[in-house]
Structure 1
Amino acid sequence: MSRRGSLLAGVCVATAAVGLLLTGGARVAPTTPPHRDSGRNAGTEIAVGAYLHYGSPGVERMRELSRWLGGTELRAGHTYLPGDTWTNIEGAPDSLRSWARWRNAKADRLFVLNVPMQERNEARLPDTRVAELIRTGARGTYDHHFRRLAERLVDLGVPDTVIVLGWEMNGFDYTHRCRPDPENWKKYWRRIVAAMRSVEGQDFRFDFAPNRGGDAIAWTRCYPGDDVVDIVGMDSYDQEPGRTFDEQVAQPYGLQQQVDFARAHGKRTSYPEWGLFRHGDNPEYVRRMLEWIEQHRPLYHSITDFCPHGVWQCGQNPRSSRVFRDHLSTGQPRRSAPALGPGGRG
């Protein structure tokens, strides 16, 4: 959806400035902590997270958001690999070290990483070119890039990363979209998963996360198979299709169909991206989404928290902010939201 351009524009700015975000320090040990759980044995406990910044500042802001919520534990750390070059898709950004340190600080945390399936992922390439790239991937040409990423994550001590691969594949925009050739797209997904699972020491989970709704293609046509999907996610913002939350639930390929599909395939659900958007400060949407999450117990959810989506870093949604904080707060003393620049981004 066009909505995603605003998010990844911020990611691209952060990518260009990645050298300014490095915190240095010792390399994260490649071994995993003892008694690591990573949510696999946590029953129906929901890991709460937020997308706050692409790089190392996102880790610091998670601590501040937790304080604002009165100490509520944020167990899902969520970031993205830039889709500009294959080098970055291989895990080059050094801010991954900061995320790995955050992940390894507590055994029950989840590190959630969105991974593009193609370079030049926001180049608005025509369908004919995208179809060629999909077929190239399905033949195995790009396998080595994903093996390198897997090796990088294992080396950083995060072999149990949740990989949100080719997110919003049912949309119109990304180069890793499915519609130009869904059959070969599924083959390509399977090759990527096989390549990453071939790396010794890995314990990745792969999250299939379309946009809510029909979009460019029914997301069920892109589903690559139960053996290569661990989680059925969905990105769901307060925008059409679906003016009301009830419509967002009941529409074809909406929230109810996601839950039913996941149950039929024996998978957990997730919400890697959700938040406000085209309907402004909408506390009813935030309340209903949080109630939906409580009812259906996804593995994790991650609100997108900058303007216009946000409730903490963005001051233009005070009523929604109050609902979010009251729902998730532990009830301890809270700090105020951070003072950020215009538009609510740091």
Structure 2
Amino acid sequence: MSHRGRRLAGACMGTVAAGLLATGGVLATPPHEAPGRNAGDEVAVGAYLHYGSPGVERMQGLSRWLGGTELRAGHTYLPGDTWSNIEGAPDSLRSWAQWRRARADRLFVLNVPMLEGNEAGVPDGRVAELIRSGAQGEYDHHFQRLAERLVDLGVPDTVIVLGWEMNGFDYTHRCRPDPENWKRYWRRIVAAMRSVEGQQFRFDFAPNRGSDAIAWTTCYPGDDVVDVIGMDSYDQEPGRTFDEQAAQPYGLRQQVDFARAHGKQISYPEWGLFRNGDNPEYMRRMLAWIAEHEPLYHSITDYCPHGVWQCSQNPRSARVFQEFLSTEQGRGLPSSAVRTPRSG
């Protein structure tokens, strides 16, 4: 699902804040062997609170609201307006890097656009041309610079959510206009970033839930260039109920099964409330799903209409979220040990 303007620096982001090298299919570098979570490791809890330094500052407030629960996943986005921003120009990266380095068990999760003008309404024909240029290596240097910047900042193990929601209709980095070259382009980006000395990046392939503009499996670029199978999932159609959202084609169940078949961890970089308003049943079921399937991390989108802490319009869902994830509720225990929160 597109949230136009949310991730761009400038006026749109100010509004949010105020409201609370390879060619074809061959890699130039060996496959990255990302470390998996050990049995019993806690799922890293996170939230998108703001793209810049205020997001770092708000982590402590959300943690206090959750009774001291440690937020181990720090999640933000690079603006996709210019190549300089995709290269990691925003000063707020320093704040996020400092937060990550403060504890060894933290994850820094960074959504990275694949093309500039990512929310500019570019038509399909032009998107296809840009994707082909990327597949031919024209933009490799931008991603090398980003990798160098992250390594220099002391966050070489950043989780890169590359080209998120690629199966949708809106972003310039969408897959549908040319799926084969899109996959080649993804592979070039990963090769470019892995070519930088000292990197330990993990690459998260995170489509929208559901079929959307194209089946997300059609866009999958290969096991050697993907470390995590993510999914962005909000309480909206397709799927009137949580059960339908799980069982639908290319839904939550297929994500889990696909990741298992490919030997990958899962994640939920974006999730939250939406079309059905304050829906404590959805909140309860999604949190139970997360507890059962133990992703590497999950990150609720915490502003209105999706959120629970910075959004006062969802009080019943907020209570479920707070009770489920507070330290008193046994956060981090296996799903069998997590007590179901009281009804909203």
| TM bracket (short chain) | 0.7 to 0.9
What are the superposed Cα offsets for residues 82-119 of structure 1, whole Å, 9 maximum, x if unpaired?
A: 00000000000010000000000000000000000000
Q: Which of residues 245, 249, 263 is equivalent to 1:252?
A: 249
Give the 3-state SS of the residue equivalent to 1:292 in structure 2: helix
- How do residues 287-302 of structure 1 correspond to structure 2 at under 5 angstroms? 287-302=284-299
1:203 aligned partner, one-letter code: Q
Letter in 1 for 2:322: R
Identity between Structure 1 and Structure 2 (%): 81
**Structure 1 partner of 2:341:** none
Question: Does residue 4 of structure 2 align to residue 5 of structure 1?
Answer: yes
Q: Residue 11 of structure 2 aligns to which amino acid in structure 1?
A: V
Pairing partner for 1:167 from 164, 169, 178:
164
Structure-to-structure mapping, 1:249-288, within 5 angstroms? 249-288=246-285
Task: Please give the TM-score of this superposition, normalised by the length of structure 2.
Answer: 0.88
The whole-number CA distance in structure 1 between the counterparts of 2:71 and 2:248 is 31
Structure 2: which 5+ residue stretches go unaligned? Answer: 18-33, 330-344
Retained in 1: the 8 A contact 2:73–2:108?
yes
Q: Which residue of 2 aligns with 1:123?
A: 120
Write out aligned runs for 1:129-140 (5 A): 129-140=126-137
> Which residue type is aligned with residue 134 of structure 1?
I
Q: Does 1:177 align with 2:166?
A: no
Q: Secondary structure at the match of 2:266?
A: strand
1:41-91 residue CA offsets vs partner (Å, 9 max, x unmatched)? 544420000000010010110110000101000000000000000000000
Matched-pair contact (CA < 8 Å) for 1:163–1:205 = yes
Q: Contact 1:14–1:54 (CA<8 Å) still a contact in 2? A: no
Match of 1:214 among 203, 211, 216: 211
1:7 aligned counterpart, secondary structure: coil
1:235 is aligned to 232
Measured in 2, the distance between the counterparts of 1:195 and 1:61 equals 33
Q: Which residue of 2 aligns with 1:30?
A: none
Cα deviation per residue 1:153-183 (whole Å; 9 max; x = unaligned)? 0000000000000000000000000000000
Is the 8 Å Cα contact of residues 39 and 108 (structure 1) preserved in structure 2? Answer: no
For the residue of structure 2 that corresponds to 1:153, the secondary structure is: helix
The AA in structure 2 aligned to 1:178 is C
C-alpha displacement at 1:218, in angstroms? 0.1
Amino acid at match of 2:268: Y
- Secondary structure of the residue aligned to 1:8 is coil
CA distance in 2 between counterparts of 1:65 and 1:239 reads 25
Q: Distance in 2 between the 1:239 and 1:78 partners?
A: 22
Matched ranges for 1:102-113 at <5 A: 102-113=99-110
Q: Hey, what does 1:326 align to over in structure 2?
A: 323
Per-residue CA shift, 1:215-250, capped at 9, x if unaligned?
A: 000000000000000000000000000110000000
Given residue 250 of structure 2, which amino acid in structure 1 is its aligned partner? Y
CA–CA distance in structure 2, aligned partners of residues 16 and 323 of structure 1: 29
- SS of 1:5's partner is coil
User: 2:60 matched to which residue of 1?
Assistant: 63
Q: Deviations over 1:306-346 (max 9, x none)?
A: 000010000000000000000001139xxxxxxxxxxxxxx
Q: Deviations over 1:274-301 (max 9, x none)?
A: 0001110000000000000000000000
**Partners of 2:74 and 2:210 in 1: how far apart?**
26
Deviation of 1:7 after TM superposition, in Å, equals: 3.3
Q: Is the 8 A contact 1:39 1:110 kept in 2?
A: no
Relative to 1, partners in 2 of residues 1:234 and 1:41: Cα closer, same or farther, differing over 3 Å? closer
Q: Which residue of 2 aligns with 1:32?
A: none
Do the aligned partners of 1:230 and 1:267 also contact (CA within 8 Å) in 2?
yes
d(CA) in 2 for partners of 1:286 and 1:317?
A: 10
Counterpart amino acid of residue 7 in structure 1: R
Cα separation, 2, equivalents of 1:202 and 1:234: 24
**Alpha-carbon distance in 2 for matches of 1:39, 1:109:** 14
- Residues 167 and 211 in structure 2, CA contact (< 8 A), matched pair in contact too: yes
State the Cα deviation string for residues 184-205 of structure 1 (Å, max 9, x = none): 0000000000000000000000
Instruction: Please report how far the alpha carbon of residue 5 of structure 1 lies from its aligned counterpart in structure 2 after TM superposition.
Output: 1.9
Q: Secondary structure at the match of 2:328?
A: coil
Structure 1 consecutive aligned stretches of length 4 or more whose deviation exceeds 4 Å = 14-17, 38-42
Out of 188, 197, 212, the position equivalent to 2:194 is 197
The answer to whether the Cα contact below 8 Å between 2:5 and 2:119 also exists between their aligned partners in 1 is: no
Are the equivalent residues in 2 in contact too, given 1:162–1:205 (CA < 8 A)?
A: yes
Displacement of 1:15 in angstroms is 6.1
Correspondence 1:91 to 2:81: no
Task: Provide the C-alpha distance between the structure 1 equivalents of 2:298 and 2:322, rounded to a whole number of angstroms.
Answer: 15
CA distance in 2, matches of 1:14, 1:39: 37
- Please tell me the residue identity of whatever aligns with 1:75: R
Provide the TM-score with structure 1 as the length reference: 0.87
SS at 1:302 equivalent = strand
